[in-house]
Amino acid sequence: MAAAAHLSKFHFLRAFRELHGRTPADQLRARRAEAARRALAAGVRGLSGLLACSGFGSRWSLQRALRDHGGTPLPATP
């Protein structure tokens, strides 16, 4: 993103954080957590379905993002 904006990585990171209040990586995790919450609300229950809908690579990373970005717990899987 920094290269597309013709900025150094450090300047881009500083400007992004100033504008959005978080880093690009944290913004991406928050958006993925929101996608997982929407999938849960739509009835997606399988772990593989949730991971596919949200872009997370593991249950642990999904669980942590849900906890950090909204407090929604991941339902127990049978």
pLDDT, residue 75, reads: 64
20 in any annotated domain: no
Nearest 5°: the CA angle 27, 19, 15 is 95
Per-residue pLDDT of the chain (78 residues; tens, 9 = 90+): 889 989 999 999 999 999 999 999 999 999 999 998 888 889 887 888 889 889 999 989 988 888 888 776 676 654
Q: Is residue 1 part of a domain?
A: no
Would residue 6 count as lying in a domain?
no
The C-alpha atoms of residue 51 and residue 32 are separated, in whole angstroms, by 9
The answer to the question of residue 65 being in a domain is yes
- The answer as to whether 12 is a domain residue is no
| Residue 56 domain boundaries | 25-72
Residue 15 lies in a domain: no
